[in-house]
Amino acid sequence: MPKLLRSVVLIYIGCTSWVFAEGNWFASVGVASDYVWRGTTQTLGQAQVSGGTEYVDDKYLYVGAWVSNTNQGTKGSASSELDLYVGISGKKEDTGFDIGFISYQYLQSSDLNFEEIYAAFSKAGFTVKMSDGNDTGNYLEASLKMKLPSKRKIYLGFHVGRYNRDGQADYIDASASLHMNELTLTVSDTDLETVDDHDMKVYLSWEHDIEF
C-alpha cells in the first residue's frame, strides 16, 4: 500500500473514531446509465453502480469513502474505483468553503492511482473549485445551481471545467443538468477528439442519501 494511501487510511480511521460520538453518519447509494467524470466516460458508456459512507462532525471536519465500478486500464475490462477523502467545510447563510484531500484508487489497475488536494468557494449557488494532483495536472471548474420556480425541489445546473493534464492533452468540458428529487438528467460534452469522449453524452443518474 503506498505511503500516501496508508496515511489517508490512518487519518480516516482516527478521525471517524474521534467524531463518532459528536458527528453524523451518512451513507449513499446510486446508479447511472454512464459514469462521467470531468466530461469523460469512466465505464465506456456502460451503467454505473456506486455507494459511499461519510462522517461529518458538528463543526468543520468530514471523512469518507466511495466506491464504484469502472472500465479503466485495458479497454472493456471491468475494474473498481475506491475514493478515500478527508476535508473541512463550512457554510454561513449562502456562503461556503470546502478544502480537502482525495485519493483515487483503481483496485485492478493500481498504476492509475493518484491523489489530489482541492479547494472550493461557493456563494449563492455559484461554486468555483480547483483540484491539483500529484503528477496528473490540475482541474479548474465553475458551476451554478438554481432552483426553478416550482413547489417541487427542481434545480437546473450548469458546469464548465478545464483539465490541464501532465503528459496528456488539455481539454475543456461543459454540462447542463436537471435535478428533480433524487434523479438527475445530464448533457455533457468536451473538446477532446478521442473515440470515447468526443461525442456528446446524455445520461440519467439516481442517488439516495441516508442519515443515521
Distance between CA 84 and CA 102 in Å, rounded?
Answer: 6
Find the domain containing 143 and state its range. Answer: 3-211
Number of domain units in the chain: 1
**Secondary structure letter of residue 152 according to DSSP:** S
Q: pLDDT band for position 150 (50/70/90)?
A: confident
Residue 139 is part of a domain; what is its CATH number?
2.40.160.160
- Residue 170 C-alpha cell reads as 488539455
pLDDT of residue 90: 94
How far is the C-alpha of 191 from the C-alpha of 193, rounded, in Å? 7
If one compares 6 and 61, the residue with the highest pLDDT of the two is 61
Query: CA-based diameter of the chain, in Å?
Result: 50
Structure-model confidence comparison of residues 82 and 8, the more confident one: 82
Rg (CA), the chain: 17
Mean pLDDT value across the chain: 88
Residue 105 is given by DSSP the state E
pLDDT at 32: 98
Whether 176 contacts 157, CB under 8 Å: yes
CA distance linking residue 50 with residue 107, whole number of Å? 15
Q: What count of Cα atoms within 13 Å lies in the side-chain half-sphere of residue 180?
A: 8
At 195 the pLDDT is: 60
Does residue 78 carry a pLDDT above 90? no
- The verdict on pTM exceeding 0.75 is yes
Q: Using one digit for the tens of pLDDT, what is the confidence trace for 157-182?
A: 999 999 999 999 999 999 999 999 99
CA distance 170 to 190: 11
pLDDT of 212 higher than 90: no
Between 135-139, 149-153, 180-184, the lowest mean confidence (pLDDT) is in: 149-153
pLDDT at residue 143 tops 80? yes
**What's the average model confidence in pLDDT over 121-142?**
95
Question: How many Cβ atoms from other residues are within 10 Å of residue 6's Cβ?
Answer: 10
Identify residue 129 by its one-letter amino acid code. K
